[in-house]
């Protein structure tokens, strides 16, 4: 059974997602002992930016199929329903590009493979605590949606995953209508990947097949959005890096505040990833 990670990298006017994907690919090669393959899905414009260095560390470079659903929007998430059709693996984990892994979590794969779909439902603060704040998730609570995070999302080529992604496609293509019909207690005014996947599970009645409420240790990741860090809102800036210091020795040895990081780290602020961090990983990998 082939296994690997997958991301979509579509640059916009402010963020170089291709460079983030490159850093993630370097990092996976350096930290993951078993599964360290990364497939990167790109649009035609981002594809023009691909260099030899990318090809050395990307397992596959996949053209986003059909049409680019995110062509006319700045926040380019509209193609997330296509992951099932873009992956080259039998078993796949969806990631966001703005992540790095400080430690080896290869053993998660054997556990996750017992299911056809396994979504993260518990994320962590920089202290390693399970996030309890609903600051960014009022719509989930109001509509009793499963607490899905697609920034670490496992699926296997299977009937269940195929059914899920078929419904996710419908929601992505008609998100305003679907939100209106199925989220009567409040809905966002924008397309959200997490909301779409959660809503698909709820409509299909498959939440119990796609999540494990009795297991909170994995899969999980540190989510660095400011207002879920168990810090009073008035004491942390909306940009977390303005409040919390990073003490960075290497890709597998860094602290946020005084807390050593061990879970996959979703840094969220693109400026956190510096050219120095990337160069260090290139040197370590010998690229």
What does the pLDDT look like over 180-196, one tens digit per residue?
999 999 888 889 999 99
* Position 287 confidence tier, pLDDT thresholds 50, 70, 90: low
Residue 239 near residue 268 (C-beta atoms within 8 A): no
Show me where the domains of the chain are located: 3-285
Angle between helices 159-173 and 193-204 (to 10 degrees): 120
Question: Of 156, 229, 153, 134, which Cα lies nearest the Cα of 198?
Answer: 153
Provide the pLDDT for residue 6.
99
Q: Where are the alpha helices (DSSP H) in the chain?
A: 17-31, 44-47, 52-57, 83-86, 107-112, 138-142, 159-173, 175-182, 193-204, 207-210, 275-285
Dist. CA 143–CA 280, nearest whole Å: 45
The CATH number of 3-285 is 3.90.550
Residue 146 near residue 213 (C-beta atoms within 8 A): no
Cis preceding linkage at 219, omega within 30? yes
Dist. CA 124–CA 222, nearest whole Å: 4
Tell me what the pLDDT averaged over the chain comes to. 96
How does pLDDT run across 155-180, given as a tens digit for each residue?
Answer: 999 999 999 999 999 999 999 999 99
pTM: 0.96
How does pLDDT run across 72-103, given as a tens digit for each residue?
Answer: 887 789 999 999 999 999 999 999 999 999 99
Dist. CA 281–CA 228, nearest whole Å: 29
| Dihedral pair phi/psi, residue 62, rounded to 5° | -115, 130
Residue 27 has pLDDT above 70, yes or no: yes
Give me the percent of the chain exceeding a pLDDT of 90: 92
For residue 196, give both structure tokens.
């779409």
Q: What angle is formed at CA 240 by the lines to CA 213 and CA 220, rounded to 5 degrees?
A: 20
Residue 177 near residue 131 (C-beta atoms within 8 A): no
Residue 91 is inside which H or E element, if any?
strand 91-95
For residue 281, give both structure tokens.
């990983």
The mean pLDDT value for 219-227 works out to 98
The burial class, CB within 10 Å (0-12 / 13-18 / 19+), for 232 is exposed
Cα-Cα-Cα-Cα dihedral sign, residues 111, 117, 121, 125? positive
């Amino acid at each position: 059974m082939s296994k690997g990670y997958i991301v979509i990298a579509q640059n916009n006017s402010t963020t170089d997602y291709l460079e983030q994907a490159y850093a993630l690919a370097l990092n996976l090669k350096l930290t993951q002992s078993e599964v360290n393959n990364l497939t990167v899905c790109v649009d035609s414009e981002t594809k023009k930016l691909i260099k030899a260095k990318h090809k050395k560390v990307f397992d596959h470079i996949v053209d986003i199929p059909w049409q680019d659903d995110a062509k006319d929007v700045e926040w380019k998430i509209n193609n997330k329903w296509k992951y099932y059709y873009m992956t080259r693996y039998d078993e796949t984990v969806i990631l966001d590009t703005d992540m790095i892994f400080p430690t080896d979590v290869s053993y998660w794969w054997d556990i996750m493979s017992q299911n056809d779909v396994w979504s993260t439902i518990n994320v962590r603060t920089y202290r390693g605590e399970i996030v309890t704040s609903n600051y960014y998730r009022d719509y989930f609570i109001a509509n009793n949606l499963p607490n899905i995070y697609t920034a670490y999302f496992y699926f296997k080529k299977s009937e269940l995953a195929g059914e899920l992604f078929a419904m996710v496609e419908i929601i992505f293509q008609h998100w305003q209508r679907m939100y209106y019909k199925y989220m009567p207690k409040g809905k966002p005014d924008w397309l959200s990947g997490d909301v779409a996947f959660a809503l698909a599970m709820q409509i299909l009645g498959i939440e119990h097949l796609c999540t494990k409420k009795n297991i909170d240790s994995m899969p999980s990741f540190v989510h660095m959005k400011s207002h879920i860090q168990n810090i009073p809102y008035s004491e942390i800036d909306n940009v977390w890096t303005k409040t919390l210091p990073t003490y960075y020795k290497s890709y597998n040895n860094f602290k946020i505040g005084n807390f050593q990081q061990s879970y996959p780290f979703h840094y969220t602020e693109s400026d956190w990833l510096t050219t120095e961090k990337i160069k260090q990983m290139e040197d370590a990998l010998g690229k």
